[in-house]
Amino acid sequence: MTEDIKKKRKRLIYRANYRGFKEADLLIGGFAKAHVAEMSEAELDAFDVLLEVNDRELYAYATGKAAVPPALDGPVMAKLKNFELPGL
């Protein structure tokens, strides 16, 4: 049986907010808070895959400091790369 969508959203937001270093917590967690509620199940699955990536690597991909591997380069990664924290 698949994970309840509401529980999945909560789990993804939690994982996005506790990445391992503050900058990633702010960027990836901020993105999750802003977008997870509106994501489709396919997008949630793609975001879940992104959250499996090492913290520093994912942060580098999201900030454009490293090239995104083709396997991770999709619509959710594009949204993450274009996300700007409010107030900064």
Binned at pLDDT 50, 70 and 90, residue 20 comes out as: confident
Q: Is the pTM of this model over 0.95?
A: no
Residue written as token pair 């994912």: 58
Number of structural domains the chain divides into: 1
Confidence band, pLDDT 50/70/90 cuts, at residue 1: very low
Please name which of 43, 45, 51, 50 lies closest in space to residue 14, comparing C-alpha atoms.
Answer: 51
pLDDT tens digit string along 62-86?
999 999 999 999 999 999 999 998 7
Print the domain residue range for 73: 5-82
CATH code of the domain covering residue 59:
1.10.150.250
Phi, psi of 48 (to 5 degrees): -60, -40
Question: For residues 88 and 37, which has the higher predicted lDDT (pLDDT)?
Answer: 37
